[in-house]
Amino acid sequence: MFVRAPEPVAEMEAESEPVPELDAEPESESESESESEPVPESESEQVPEAEPVPDREPEPEAELDAEPEPVAAARADVDALFARIRASRAEAVADARRVLAEAETEEGVAAFDPVEPPPEPPGSERRSDGTLAWLEAVAPPTAEHDESPPAAGIHARRDQLLAPVEAELGRALKRALADELNHVLGVVRATDGALDLVAALGDEAAQRERYGTAVLVPVRSAAAVGAALADEDGSETDPDPDDLGERFAPDAVIDAIADELLGLVRARVGRILDERAGEAPEQQDRLRALYREVRQERVDLVVRHAADRAVGAGAATVLTEGTPVVWTMAPGTPCSPDCEDNALAGPTPFSEPFPAGDLHPPRHPGCRCLLTPMHR
Judge contact between 219 and 253, C-beta under 8 A. Answer: yes
Query: Between these two residues, 11 and 368, which has the higher pLDDT value?
Result: 368
pLDDT for the residue numbered 97: 75
Question: Which tens digit of pLDDT belongs to each residue from 2-17?
Answer: 445 445 444 444 444 4
Whole-angstrom distance, CA of residue 167 vs CA of residue 320: 31
User: Measured between alpha carbons, how far apart are the two ends of the chain, in Å?
Assistant: 186
pLDDT of residue 26: 42
**Average pLDDT for residues 85-112, to the nearest whole number?**
64
| Model pLDDT for residues 268-297, shown as the tens digit of each residue | 999 999 988 878 899 999 999 999 999 999
Region 165-185: what's the mean pLDDT?
96
**pLDDT score at 36:** 43
At 77, the pLDDT band (50, 70, 90 cuts) reads confident
On the question of pLDDT at 302 being above 90, the answer is yes
The predicted-structure confidence for 104-151, as pLDDT tens digits, reads as follows 544 444 433 444 555 555 545 555 555 444 444 333 444 344 444 444
CA–CA distance, 363 with 254 (Å, rounded to integer): 17
Identify the sign of the CA torsion 302, 305, 308, 310: negative
pLDDT band at residue 374 using 50, 70 and 90 as cut-offs: confident
Residue 376: name the closest of 192, 235, 174 by CA.
Answer: 235
pLDDT confidence tier of residue 96, bands split at 50, 70 and 90: confident
Is residue 342 within 8 Å of 370, Cβ to Cβ?
Answer: no
Crossing angle of helices 299-316 and 251-275, in 10° steps, is: 160
